[in-house]
């Protein structure tokens, strides 16, 4: 009966209610903190920014990249994702946010990070470029060989879709 | 329909999807859920806009399996770091945690690298899993825009528990990433936020794991990992869609593949490796230069005192005069302190049998028996450095004031402000033969930045409790 009304086994109900009670208890404990509302804003913003800003932006950019670059897309997509990931994780140093605290804590400034990050990005794109050239050369060699030995060229399998 | 509902088991609650005829099941009241389904806003639901040909339950389950192993390690090491701060002395943050506290125990001193390991794992593994978390969220994102959002109360509640899990993990990543780089832009108390955010995440994670583990195992068995790792782009096909699942992850009209499944897994794994390479150097000395985007990858120089500082003398308000010839160390032995007395009261009456307070200057300390130990200095922010320290054993100092077997010790810095200008050490931390009031590091006198003239260094003790610029130690009987 409960299963029919509720839509799942009663144990499902107990598990999910237990989980929500636990999360709710934790949230209530934060309530004693005068800045609980700011934490709530950051909690909600983390979800909303990821789901409704970050995801649409990266999905749309990726679609544009694929449209423009076609089969070459991964040679740009991969290093670009590396740059985006390292920026997302290490941006405080790169944009020099919180430099007074860093100086007070470590005795060091945040001066080198932007240049280092740019170098890292440049290196990732350079590696990608080298790989592109090497795979292109390998393909050229293969097709030249195939032209010399026509019997070794197999037709593309039916239904194989080019990316 | 109702008969099929009855077959749902608690471990496989594919709620609302058991009808093979294609008509989904609805909970009570069915007309309401059906009406909700009909009121579909444009763009939501399983539309043709979702085109990735590799999105599907198998790929999602691979990411899920990695996180199922990794995230509990990050969570447990996080709570261990809380325990290492000594909640029994009221010096773990947040101090008052009600029922949601790790079991109380005295943090051990052995192995000496224990805290280095727990905090290093917590921070490095936490960062390494970020690409996997993002990939997992990408792989299930059509569910977020599915319509209807629920077909029963069960599904609605389950989605709420997902909010706890996803919100929790994103909140933990954001606050953690900012904290290890000293970027306090969020403005609230990091410890409280990160601690309670963790419990919200754990609650959602437990429910999701129990509910989805059977689906994950079934999906993992649906394809061979080995075969996928041999499948190139040209042979990459979408996973077969489950006709019984109206919210399946498999695209309705998949576009041509631009990356194979092995390519996607390599990309995510490569992202994790990249992050590992850029962060492990915060803790592994040999990799230090590779941590080139983090504050703890910086080189201080080649001198004996040239290693990572976590609070400069300037920030602590310590001048060379304060730490100079007028500096004195005051040792006392006091009675009657219970382990959970919280921040200790000063001026507890001395027992008749306990020796009088003793005062030392730096020269007098240097005449006491010296001991050398190679110990890591490890910070909860995910970095550590191992150095060779020389000084007086804490247990020798305890014996000097007539408390050779203290229950705990309160160490105070001459630093006036600051959350960590005092620390309570456990009995084990005082009595360990390598626990020192260090005067010398790597053969040279401590620099002002590292706590001159004397600082505490003890095995497996969190860095913030290795008090610098020590002014007094109170050994409690």
Residue B305 lies in a domain: no
Residue B395 lies in a domain: yes
Residues A19 and A62 in one domain: no
Residue B38 lies in a domain: yes
Residues B272 and B361 in one domain: no
Which residues, 6 or more positions from A141, have their beta carbon under 8 angstroms from its beta carbon? none
The enclosing domain of B417 has a CATH number of 3.90.420.10
Contact A101 B182 (CB under 8 A): yes
Q: A148 to chain B nearest CA, in Å?
A: 24
Q: Tell me which residues of chain B have a pLDDT lower than 50.
A: 1-21, 338-353
The pLDDT tens digits of the residues spanning A99-149 come to 889 999 999 999 899 999 999 999 999 999 999 999 999 999 999 998 888
Residues B269 and B326 in one domain: no
Residues A64 and A25 in one domain: no
Residues B318 and B255 in one domain: no
Contact A120 B211 (CB under 8 A): no
Residues A15 and A67 in one domain: no
Residues A17 and A82 in one domain: no
Show which of B238, B264, B281 is a domain's final residue.
B281
Q: Is residue A156 over pLDDT 60?
A: no
pLDDT number for residue A17? 97
Provide the domain count of chain B.
2
pLDDT number for residue B46? 83
Residues A128 and A96 in one domain: yes
Residues A20 and A39 in one domain: no
Residues A93 and A141 in one domain: yes
CB-CB neighbors (< 8 A) of B129 in chain A: none
Residue A162 lies in a domain: no
- For B380-429, where are the E strands, in sequence order? 383-393, 408-413, 422-426
CB-CB neighbors (< 8 A) of B9 in chain A: 9
Round to whole Å and give the CA distance between B135 and B66.
Answer: 11
Round to whole Å and give the CA distance between B412 and B392.
Answer: 17
Q: A26 to chain B nearest CA, in Å?
A: 6
Residues spanned by the domain of B7: 2-281
Structure tokens at B11: 């471990």
CB-CB neighbors (< 8 A) of A17 in chain B: 157
Q: How confident is the model at residue A151 (pLDDT cuts 50, 70, 90)?
A: low
CB-CB neighbors (< 8 A) of B26 in chain A: 7
Residues B186 and B247 in one domain: yes
Residues A18 and A36 in one domain: no
Q: Count of H helices and E strands in chain A?
A: 7, 0
Q: Is residue A45 over pLDDT 80?
A: yes
Residue A35 lies in a domain: yes
pLDDT number for residue B59? 98
Residues B354 and B277 in one domain: no
Residues B240 and B318 in one domain: no
Residues A103 and A61 in one domain: yes
Asked if residues B462 and B379 have their Cβ atoms less than 8 Å apart, the reply is yes
Q: Phi first, then psi: give them for residue A152, nearest 5 degrees.
A: -85, -5
Residues B277 and B318 in one domain: no
pLDDT number for residue B340? 42
The pLDDT tens digits of the residues spanning A21-44 come to 999 999 999 988 999 999 999 999
Residue A47 lies in a domain: yes
What ranges in B182-332 are assigned the alpha helix state H?
Answer: 190-222, 225-229, 261-279, 313-316
Residues spanned by the domain of A8: 1-30
Provide the domain count of chain A.
2
Q: CA of B308: which chain A residue's CA is closest?
A: A106
Residue B302 lies in a domain: no
Residues A41 and A76 in one domain: yes
């Amino acid at each position: 009966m409960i299963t029919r009304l509720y839509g799942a086994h009663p144990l499902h109900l107990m598990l999910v209610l237990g989980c929500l009670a636990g999360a709710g208890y934790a949230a209530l404990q934060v309530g004693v903190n005068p800045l609980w509302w700011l934490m709530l804003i950051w909690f909600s913003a983390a979800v909303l920014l990821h789901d409704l800003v970050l995801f649409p932006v990266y999905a749309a950019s990726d679609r544009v990249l694929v449209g423009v670059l076609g089969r070459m897309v991964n040679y740009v997509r991969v290093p670009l994702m590396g740059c985006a990931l390292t920026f997302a994780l290490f941006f405080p140093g790169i944009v020099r946010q919180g430099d007074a605290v860093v100086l007070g804590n470590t005795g060091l400034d945040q001066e080198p990070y932007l240049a280092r990050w740019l170098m890292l990005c440049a290196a990732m794109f350079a590696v990608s470029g080298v790989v592109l050239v090497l795979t292109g050369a390998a393909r050229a060699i293969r097709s030249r060989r195939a032209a010399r030995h026509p019997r070794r060229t197999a037709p593309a399998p039916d239904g194989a879709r080019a990316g | 329909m109702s008969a099929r509902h009855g077959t749902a088991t608690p471990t496989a609650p594919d709620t609302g999807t058991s009808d093979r005829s294609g008509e989904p099941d609805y909970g009570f009241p069915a007309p309401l859920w059906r009406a909700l389904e009909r009121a579909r806003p444009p763009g939501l639901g399983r539309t043709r806009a979702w085109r990735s040909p590799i999105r599907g339950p198998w790929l999602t389950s691979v990411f899920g399996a990695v996180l199922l192993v990794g995230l509990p390690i990050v969570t447990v090491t996080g709570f261990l770091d809380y325990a290492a701060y000594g909640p029994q002395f009221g010096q773990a943050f947040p101090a008052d945690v009600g029922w949601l506290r790790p079991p109380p125990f005295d943090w051990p001193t052995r192995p000496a690298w224990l805290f280095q390991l727990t905090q290093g794992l917590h921070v490095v593994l936490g960062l390494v899993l970020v690409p996997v978390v993002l990939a997992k969220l990408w792989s299930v994102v059509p569910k977020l825009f599915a319509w209807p959002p629920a077909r029963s109360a069960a599904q609605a509640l389950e989605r709420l528990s997902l909010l706890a899990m996803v919100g929790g993990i994103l909140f933990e990543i954001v606050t953690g990433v900012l904290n290890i780089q000293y970027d306090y832009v969020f403005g609230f108390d990091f410890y409280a936020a990160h601690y309670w955010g963790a419990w919200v995440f754990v609650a959602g994670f437990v429910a999701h794991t129990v509910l989805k583990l059977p689906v994950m195992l079934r999906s993992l068995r649906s394809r061979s990992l080995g075969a996928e790792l041999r499948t190139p782009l040209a042979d990459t096909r979408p996973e077969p869609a489950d006709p019984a699942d109206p919210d399946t992850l498999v695209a309705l009209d998949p576009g041509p593949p631009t990356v194979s499944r092995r390519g996607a897994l390599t990309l995510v794994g490569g992202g994790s490796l990249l992050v590992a390479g850029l962060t492990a150097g915060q803790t592994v000395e040999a990799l230090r230069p590779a941590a080139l985007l983090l504050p703890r990858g910086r080189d201080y120089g080649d001198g004996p005192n040239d290693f990572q500082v976590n609070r400069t003398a300037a920030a602590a308000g310590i001048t060379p005069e304060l730490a100079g010839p007028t500096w004195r160390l005051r040792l006392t032995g006091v009675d009657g302190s219970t382990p959970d007395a919280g921040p200790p009261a000063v001026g507890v009456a001395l027992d008749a049998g306990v020796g009088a307070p003793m005062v030392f200057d730096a020269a007098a300390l240097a005449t006491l028996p010296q001991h050398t130990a190679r110990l890591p200095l490890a910070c909860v922010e995910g970095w550590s450095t191992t150095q060779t320290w020389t000084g007086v054993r804490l247990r020798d100092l305890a014996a000097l004031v007539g408390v050779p077997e203290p229950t705990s010790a309160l160490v105070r810095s001459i630093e006036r402000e600051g959350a960590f200008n005092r620390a309570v050490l456990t009995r084990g931390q005082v009595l360990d033969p390598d626990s020192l009031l260090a005067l010398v590091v790597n053969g040279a006198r401590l620099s002002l930045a590292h706590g001159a003239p004397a600082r505490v260094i003890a095995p497996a003790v969190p860095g913030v409790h290795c008090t610098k610029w020590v002014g007094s130690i109170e050994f409690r009987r």
